[in-house]
Amino acid sequence: MADENNQITTQRRARINNMKKVILLIALVLIIIPIILCIILSIKVCSLENQIDDLLDMKKDGRLTAYVDEEGNKKLIINNQPVQSQAKNQGIVSADKNEEDTKKESEDNSTDNTEENNSENKNIPNEETTTADTSKRGYGKTVCLTFDDGPSGNTEKIIEILDRYNVKATFFVIGKEDEESFERYRMIVESGNAIGLHSYTHDYAKVYNSIEDFVSEITRVHDVVYEATGVDTRLFRFPGGSSNSTVTKMDIHECIDYLNENGYTYYDWNVSSGDAATRLATVEQIMENIENDLFKMNTAIILMHDAEYKPTTVEALPQLIEMLLDEGFEIKAIDETIPTIQQIKSQ
């Protein structure tokens, strides 16, 4: 009987010892796992800090810029080389973005708090609305409205709206040689808006097939515009933007060299309206896409399109202009005072 009791006692002690060992093991695991996680997180934090430092150095040296492409994708340019899309704006977004910026320039970023402009007459700014209000988000900032791919049946409507608000824009046109298009080229110039070139065909396969084809595209559209208006314009916008991914047969820097050597200045964009998306963007989506990046810029170049099948661009334009004026922005056509917003920098 005593032996049996001793055996039971021994077994109990063994079980207790085993339980103690399990408890100690669990305690050690619970202590070690957080320590390991802390070490891993610390390593990742250090890695991210190093990456941030590298990006800040690139930004300071001008080797890093960002923009929003025609389809609303936010992209980075590092050492003049495009990086894969980083994010996409919500809703329907744009498609001819060089039209960029993303497009935005790295040096364009500052935001202020805002108060609404309560002027009763929004169509024509009066003395109250033109008085400087430093609390407005657009105070001291400039916006350039740009329209690609025209002229079209919407050209007259766009110009009529611009005239109504007494503001000017920039039209980057393609080559059309019918008399109706010639009249629209003249209308752009005679209304005081700026006219620029956007290639003759806007066919990427032709424009970017070779440097000879690129030069031909520019020469042809230049001659058409000059014949129609007498204006020897040297403003240019790359179809798809200077960093567009369709340039596969040639180096875009060949095109840039030609532009520089022949007195052209090319402008991308840093705010996209999203009106060139595959599906028709609503007025609300256009406004949202613009406001996503607008207030980050000191100089904002907004990409929109002058095309028959983009009626919501025309519908959104009065609301956009009223918002810009209410927020205190200066609206200008592109001229020599506007910084050259470029996705791939001119060397």
Give the C-alpha separation, 114 to 16, whole Å.
70
Structural domain harbouring 273: 127-331
H helix intervals, the chain: 2-61, 127-130, 155-164, 179-190, 204-207, 211-229, 252-261, 283-294, 311-326
Tell me what pLDDT residue 19 has: 86
Same domain, yes or no, for 154 and 241? yes
Give the chain's radius of gyration (CA, Å). Answer: 29
Q: Is the pLDDT of residue 90 over 60?
A: no
Tell me what pLDDT residue 70 has: 58
Same domain, yes or no, for 172 and 304? yes
Give the pLDDT mean for 151-168.
97
Q: Name the least confident of 13-17, 131-135, 241-245, 324-328.
A: 131-135
- pLDDT band per the 50, 70, 90 thresholds, residue 185: very high
Same domain, yes or no, for 196 and 306? yes
Same domain, yes or no, for 53 and 202? no
Q: Which of 37, 61, 85 is the last residue of a domain?
A: 61
Query: How would you classify the pairing of strands 73-78 and 170-173?
Result: unpaired
In a domain, 98, yes or no: no
Residue 49: HSE in the Cβ half-sphere, 13 Å Cα cutoff: 6
pLDDT per residue over 95-128, tens digit each?
343 433 433 343 443 333 333 333 333 444 443 4
In a domain, 108, yes or no: no
In a domain, 195, yes or no: yes
Arithmetic mean of pLDDT over the chain: 82
Same domain, yes or no, for 135 and 264? yes
Tell me what pLDDT residue 17 has: 84
Q: In the chain, count of helices (H) and strands (E)?
A: 9, 12
Q: Name the least confident of 114-118, 120-124, 252-256, 263-267.
A: 114-118
Tell me what pLDDT residue 235 has: 98
**151 in Cβ contact with 306 (< 8 Å):** yes
pLDDT per residue over 318-332, tens digit each?
999 999 999 999 999
In a domain, 85, yes or no: no
Do you find a cis peptide bond into 239, omega within 30 degrees of 0? Answer: no
Same domain, yes or no, for 197 and 273? yes
Please give the tally of structural domains in the chain: 2
- pLDDT band per the 50, 70, 90 thresholds, residue 178: very high
Tell me what pLDDT residue 285 has: 96
**271 in Cβ contact with 300 (< 8 Å):** yes
In a domain, 90, yes or no: no
Q: Name the least confident of 34-43, 86-95, 142-151, 305-314.
A: 86-95
pLDDT per residue over 192-213, tens digit each?
999 999 999 999 999 999 999 9
- pLDDT band per the 50, 70, 90 thresholds, residue 290: very high
Same domain, yes or no, for 159 and 28? no
Same domain, yes or no, for 31 and 171? no
Give the pLDDT mean for 54-77.
59
In a domain, 311, yes or no: yes
Give the C-alpha separation, 279 to 258, whole Å.
35
Give the C-alpha separation, 347 to 256, whole Å.
8
In a domain, 66, yes or no: no
Residue 157: CB atoms within 10 Å: 16
Which amino acid is it at 109? N
Same domain, yes or no, for 154 and 280? yes
Q: Is the pLDDT of residue 183 over 50?
A: yes
Q: Which residues contact 13 (CB under 8 A, 6 or more apart)?
A: none
Q: Is the pLDDT of residue 189 over 90?
A: yes
Q: Where is pLDDT greater, at 282 or 112?
A: 282
Q: Is the pLDDT of residue 300 over 50?
A: yes
Give the C-alpha separation, 55 to 65, whole Å.
10
Q: Name the least confident of 12-26, 135-149, 248-262.
A: 12-26
Same domain, yes or no, for 191 and 53? no
Which amino acid is it at 305? H
Tell me what pLDDT residue 74 has: 57
Q: Is the pLDDT of residue 72 over 60?
A: no
In a domain, 336, yes or no: no
Q: What is the CATH number of the domain that holds 196?
A: 3.20.20.370
